[in-house]
Amino acid sequence: MTRSKAKQVDSHRQSLNSTPREMTGAQMVWEALVAEGTTVVFGHPGGAILPTYDALAPFEASGAIHHVLVRHEQCAGHMADGYARATGDVGVCIATSGPGATNLVTGLATAQMDSIPIVAITGQVPTNLLGTDAFQESDVIGVTQPVCKHNYLVTDVNELPLILKEAFYIAREGRPGPVLIDICKDVQNAKGIFRYDFEIDLPGFEPWPSYDLGSLLDAAQIINAAERPLIMAGHGVKLAGMSQELLELVEKAEIPVVTTLLGTGDIPETHPLSLGMGGMHGEAFANMAVQGCDVLIAMGMRFDDRITGRLDKFAKQAKIIHFELDKAEVGKNVMPTVAVIGDLGETLPALLPLVSERRHQNWTQTLQAWRGDTADSDIINYEGDELTPPFVIRQLWHATNTAKQQRVLVVTDVGQHQMWESQYFIHEKAGQLLTSGGLGTMGFALPAAIGAQMSDRNALVWAVAGDGGFQMTLQELIVLQQEKLPVKIAIINNGFLGMVRQWQQIFYDKRYVGTPILTPDLVKLAEAYSIPALRVTKPEQVVAAYEQAHATPGPFLIDFRVKEEVNVYPMVPPGAAVDELIRRPKPGMVQGYSGVQPSW
Amino acid sequence: MKYTLVAWMRDKPGVLSRVSGMLRRRNFNIDSLQVSHSETPGISRMTFVVDGDERVVDQVLKQMQKVVDVTRVENISDQPTILRELALIRVRTTADTRREIMQFAEIYRAQIVDISADSLVIQIVGAEDKVDSLIDLLDRFGIEEMVRTGRVALARGMRIGSHKAVSSVWKARSTPVANGNRSEREKTGGV
């Protein structure tokens, strides 16, 4: 959530009726959620959370809060995550003690790695049984501590209202993240006084550090003197809602932009200064730009190893300027020349007038030449009999362009199709792509798409998954029926755990151990869930399949039986510098790897 | 190099596990760690020693500050500081060695706090190298059991204020300075 939106939420809370009232801990949970503006929760009941579920009834009856029953708690986490990514608001999930809570862990870890605000509520055994290995007891605080921004164990009902308010505050403010509240069953039943007019007092928790003007001036000076500047834009730009300002900066000083996976669409990918995604599967020209620039302006990103490649060879010619909200990310992986620590929502608008209007003709011409050098069109326009994933993805982009809905969201899983989506779908807006970037959680697409669609039933939501990841969470298909959600699903089905197979092919001499994967008949499977479905095996069927999916109200599934052993290129081998990449071969060329092939 | 850091934290259940869990998770090398009450009710004070270079310490400070219950962190390594450690050492004694051991204790201004027929317990307070050197001396008599508190530290004079003071780690400079006059650590928001 952007800072200004957080302030709005805050004033909304202040305007609520804050008369202290007596109620049970269970009721407090829902009262607080209503006060925070939550309308949807994703969860699964169980013994230790039953009092809270019982207290939900009047809130559901009045339409204040809708509960989405999931089929596995991991997906409650992913749905809350998808909801939060699509809205910028806090997503809420709920589970019982023990296995319910441990199942949530993957969802929380995914959100933590990608800075997604989630509040997770779990039941815990009664306080008198804590630490006795009671039925369905687990040390949820201990288990979730490393994967949460913060967490709370509630053993006293009088502390619950403040904890609920703090949890939302911590999840939402500054760099967002998941917060878990573990509530003992007797606390849910106990009565206490509910009020919600607390001032949050967390000394040491500084979500919005104010930026240093001196650093900003230094940054502007370096940018103005640059001959070959480059912006690397990450998730922070989207979280701060600064796409428009970024575009202004880009055009004013003619600075090309490379994005991270989560920064996809920070500026429209149709823009001539957009170089798309960089890093392990970024286009060669994007990575060459990183290696060739003399000033690298990193905005709201954290120099993950997938974007930097080998650190000691990363952007060696460049002075690095790091705009970042989270101080701990500065100097963690890459030591910048100048860091501007603060909210991009403040620092970027403040930077704009300090940057002079400039043209970098030599630099943009060089980039243009590099761009022509790596023809992805060889793959896109490939006219063979075989169905290839890049073609399927590019056609998806064409199809969504002509769809009647204004808002298009693509939710990808993890693996080859995720990279193909990022390469061949042309993203126009920040936040159009929802994907698990940091943790790389297979099984993310379907539940996150459900969460996103719950926040906006009119959006066109496409879940794109591989046959491997889809099978990790396909039990959630029934939620599409349960909630009448029109999520469209594209399965890039190649009979392998494709990305792992690609690594085995390139680095393990084609020993495909554990990667060939059996998949049930997905069309029949979809039928079992009363979801219309199609199988596509030839390139000429693709366009019609998308048309049919869009013309069919409600959910739709397409099983794309694509060519099996296709690799994602370009590829930076792990441990190599980002310009030591394996280029995209021409069609018909043998795809192989014979050591690192420096490209320039 | 070894750095001495001091952290203040809200005295909440599990706060030690939050901090130690973070230090383990991020693969920091901690030599010693000591927690006790501070002068402020509800605030605990932790002294810990980090082994690493300046970048490691910078990260430890920043990651520490991100733990919600931690109110403030200071690197006091380059300040004039009183560093102390307390050790209790049970040494084996015989009629022949007892007098010699007691003489050593006296030289080190250590105290004999317990005595039995075949052993005595020495309490020593001092900087770690002083404690180390007494332990070296006593080793040949046979140390039966030993406990050390780990380093505790307090800055001299008025260098550290109360926990309410603004952390030097956390507040960026607010006045512009002419380009080039600023140290690397200031520019990167470091410590």
Number of domains composing chain B: 2
Q: Look at residue A491 and give its three-state secondary structure.
A: strand
Task: Choose, out of B69, B73, B188, the residue to mutate when testing the contact with A (most A CBs < 10 Å).
Answer: B188
The mean-pLDDT minimum among A287-296, A430-439, A584-593 falls in A584-593
Minimal CA–CA distance to A446: which of A424, A466, A430? A466
- Among chain A residues, the shortest Cα distance to B22 is held by A146
Q: What is the pLDDT of residue A15?
A: 60
Which chain B positions have a beta carbon within 8 Å of A335's beta carbon? 55, 188
CB contact under 8 A, B62 and A328: yes
Backbone angles phi, psi at A72, to 5 degrees: -160, 135
Among the candidates B53, B78, B103, a domain finishes at B78
Contacting residues of B for A339, CB less than 8 Å apart: 187-189
Residue ranges covered by each domain of chain A: 3-194, 213-373, 377-561
Same domain for B91 and B50? no
- Give tens-digit pLDDT for B46-80: 999 999 999 999 999 999 999 999 999 999 998 89
* A314-337 tens-digit pLDDT: 999 999 999 999 999 999 999 999
B63 and B128 fall within a common domain: no
Quick one: tokens of A495? Answer: 């009979």
On the question of pLDDT at A395 being above 50, the answer is yes
Closest residue in chain A to residue B65, using alpha carbons only: A204
Q: What is the pLDDT of residue A541?
A: 96
| Candidates B162, B163, B187, B191, partner chain A, best to mutate (most A CBs within 10 A) | B187
Place of tokens 């296709």: A566
Model confidence over A44-57: pLDDT tens digits?
A: 999 999 999 999 99
Is B28 a domain residue?
yes
- My answer on whether B109 and B41 are in the same domain is no
Residues contacting B14, CB < 8 A, separation 6+: A141, A145, A153
Lowest mean pLDDT among A201-205, A279-283, A585-589, B19-23: A585-589
Chain A residues in contact with B45 (beta carbon < 8 A): none
Residue B170 has pLDDT above 50, yes or no: no
CATH number of the domain to which B141 belongs: 3.30.70.1150
A217-221's contacts with Cβ under 8 Å and 24+ in sequence apart are A217/A354, A217/B176, A217/B179, A218/A338, A218/B179, A218/B182, A218/B187, A219/A297, A219/A321, A219/A323, A219/A338, A219/A340, A219/A351, A220/A351, A220/A354, A220/A355, A221/B179
Structure confidence by residue, pLDDT tens digits, B28-37: 999 999 999 9
Residues A81-123 pLDDT 10s: 999 999 999 999 999 999 999 999 999 999 999 999 999 999 9
Chain B, 66-105: which have a CB under 8 Å from a chain A CB? Answer: 66, 68-72
Virtual torsion, Cα A588, A593, A595, A596, nearest 10 deg: 70
Q: Are A339 and B173 a contacting pair at CB < 8 A?
A: no
C-alpha torsion angle, residues A248, A343, A334, B183 (rounded to 10): 100
Residues B107 and B127 in one domain: yes
B62 and B86 share one domain: no
Domain annotation covers residue B113: yes
- CATH class belonging to A3-194: alpha beta
Question: Same domain, yes or no, for B68 and B6?
Answer: yes
Percentage of chain A exceeding pLDDT 70: 94
A vs B, Cβ pairs < 8 A, gives 95
Burial of B48 (0-12, 13-18, 19+ CB in 10 A): buried
Which residues of chain A neighbour B17 with C-beta distances below 8 Å?
A: 142, 145
The helix (H) or strand (E) run that includes residue A547 is helix A542-551
> Could you tell me whether strands A295-299 and A319-324 are parallel, antiparallel, or unpaired per DSSP bridges?
parallel
Residue B168 lies in a domain: no
Residue A378 has pLDDT above 70, yes or no: no
Instruction: Please identify among residues 23-62 of chain B the ones whose CB lies closer than 8 Å to any CB of chain A.
Output: 25, 55, 58-59, 62
Contact B14 A146 (CB under 8 A): no
The 3-state DSSP class for residue A226 equals coil
Residue closest to A214 by CA, chosen among A120, A66, A25, A347: A347
Q: Which residues contact A57 (CB under 8 A, 6 or more apart)?
A: none
| Residue type for position A250 | V
Residues of B in Cβ contact (< 8 Å) with A336? 187-188
Whether B181 has a pLDDT exceeding 80, the answer reads no
The fraction of chain A above a pLDDT of 90, given in percent, is 87
Does residue B160 lie in a domain region? no
With an 8 Å Cβ cutoff, are B25 and A326 in contact? no
Look up tokens 């901090």; give the residue: B19
Mean pLDDT, all residues of chain A: 93
Determine the average pLDDT of the residues in A180-201: 96
Name which of B69, B15, B75 is nearest A205 in CA terms.
Answer: B69
Q: Which fold has domain A377-561?
A: Rossmann fold (3.40.50)
Q: Would you call B63 and A328 a contact, using CB atoms and an 8 Å cutoff?
A: yes
Range A451-478 average pLDDT: 98
Express each pLDDT in A544-575 by its tens digit. 999 999 999 999 999 999 999 999 999 999 88
Distance from CA of A329 to the nearest CA of B (A): 9
- Asked if B7 and B71 sit in the same domain, the reply is yes
Q: Which residues of B touch A170 (CB under 8 A)?
A: 68
Interchain CB distance below 8 Å, A204 and B69:
yes
Residue A402 has what pLDDT? 87
* Structural Rg of chain B based on CA atoms: 20
Would you say residue A381 has pLDDT above 90? no
- Does one domain contain both B20 and B6? yes
Q: Looking at the structure, do residues B104 and B69 belong to the same domain, yes or no?
A: no
Q: Please give the pLDDT value at position A546.
A: 97
Q: Encode pLDDT of B119-143 as tens digits.
A: 999 999 999 999 999 999 999 999 9
Check residue A374 and give its pLDDT. 61
Mean pLDDT of A437-456: 98
| B13–A339 C-beta distance less than 8 A | no
Tokens in use for A385? 């009999």
Our measurement of the distance from residue A431's CA atom to the centroid of its chain's CA atoms, rounded to an integer in Å, reads 9
Query: Catalytic residue positions of A?
Result: 73, 135-136, 185, 499
| ipTM for the predicted complex | 0.90
Annotate A308-330 with DSSP letters as a single string: HBSGGGTTTT-EEEEEES-GGGT
CA distance A321 to chain B (A): 9
Looking at the complex, does the CB of residue B12 fall below 8 Å from at least one CB of chain A? Answer: no
Kindly state the tokens that stand for A348.
Answer: 């970027």
Residue B25: inside a domain: yes
B157 — pLDDT class (breaks 50, 70, 90) = confident
For A230-281, the three-class secondary structure string (H helix, E strand, C coil) is EEEECHHHHHCCCHHHHHHHHHHHCCCEEECCCCCCCCCCCCCCEEEECCCC
Per-residue pLDDT of B91-124, as tens digits, reads 999 999 999 999 999 999 999 999 999 999 999 9
What pLDDT, on the 0 to 100 scale, is given for residue A11? 67
User: Closest to A218 (Cβ–Cβ): which among B14, B72, B187?
Assistant: B187
Burial class (CB in 10 A: 0-12, 13-18, 19+), A584: buried
When the pLDDT of each residue in chain B is averaged and rounded to a whole number, the result is 84
Write the DSSP assignment of A59-102 as a string of letters. HHHTTS-EEEE-SSHHHHHHHHHHHHHHHSS-EEEEE-STHHHH
By the CB < 8 Å criterion, does A145 face chain B?
A: yes
Q: How far is A200 from chain B (nearest CA, A)?
A: 13
- One domain for residues B66 and B13: yes
Q: Look at A332 and B68 and tell me if their CB atoms are within 8 Å.
A: no
Q: Using 50, 70 and 90 to split pLDDT, how confident is the model at A204?
A: confident
Q: How many other C-beta atoms can be found within 10 angstroms of the C-beta atom of residue A89?
A: 21
pLDDT for B57 equals 95
One domain, residues B94 and B140: yes
Are both A3-194 and A213-373 of the same fold? Answer: yes
Contacts of B5 by beta carbon, 8 Å cutoff, 6+ apart: B47, B48, B49, B50, B57, B60, B61, B64, B73, B74, B75, B76, B77
Which phi and psi (to 5°) does residue A32 adopt? -65, -40
CB of A311 within 8 Å of a chain B CB? The answer is no
User: Does the beta carbon of A204 lie under 8 angstroms from any beta carbon of chain B?
Assistant: yes
- Interface touch B62/A327, C-beta < 8 Å: yes
User: In the listed set B31, B60, B78, which residue is the last one of a domain according to the structure?
Assistant: B78
Query: In the CATH scheme, what is the code of domain A213-373?
Result: 3.40.50.1220
Q: Do B188 and A335 touch (CB under 8 A)?
A: yes
Q: Would you say residue B48 lies in a domain?
A: yes
Q: Supply the pLDDT for residue A371.
A: 84
CATH assignment of the domain containing B11: 3.30.70.260
Q: Do A339 and B187 touch (CB under 8 A)?
A: yes
| Cα A342 to Cα A327: distance, rounded to the nearest angstrom | 8
Residue A354 DSSP class: G
User: A528 in contact with B at a CB cutoff of 8 Å?
Assistant: no
Q: Using CB atoms, pick whichever of A142, A150, A341 lies closest to residue B189.
A: A341
Once rounded to an integer, what is the mean pLDDT over residues A264-268? 96
Q: Do residues B8 and B68 both lie within one domain?
A: yes
Nearest alpha carbon to residue B76 among B173, B187, B157, B131: B157
Residue B20: inside a domain, yes or no? yes
Cβ pair A331:B59 closer than 8 A: yes
Which residues, in sequence order, are CB contacts of B70 under 8 Å at separation 6+? A204, B7, B8, B9, B10, B15, B19, B64
Q: What's the rounded Cα separation, in Å, for the pair B15 and B7?
A: 12
| Boundaries of domain holding B133 | 81-148
Q: Which of B14, B62, B172 sits opposite A212 (nearest CB)?
A: B172
pLDDT exceeds cutoff 60 at A473 = yes
User: What is the pLDDT confidence band of residue B171, given thresholds at 50, 70 and 90?
Assistant: very low
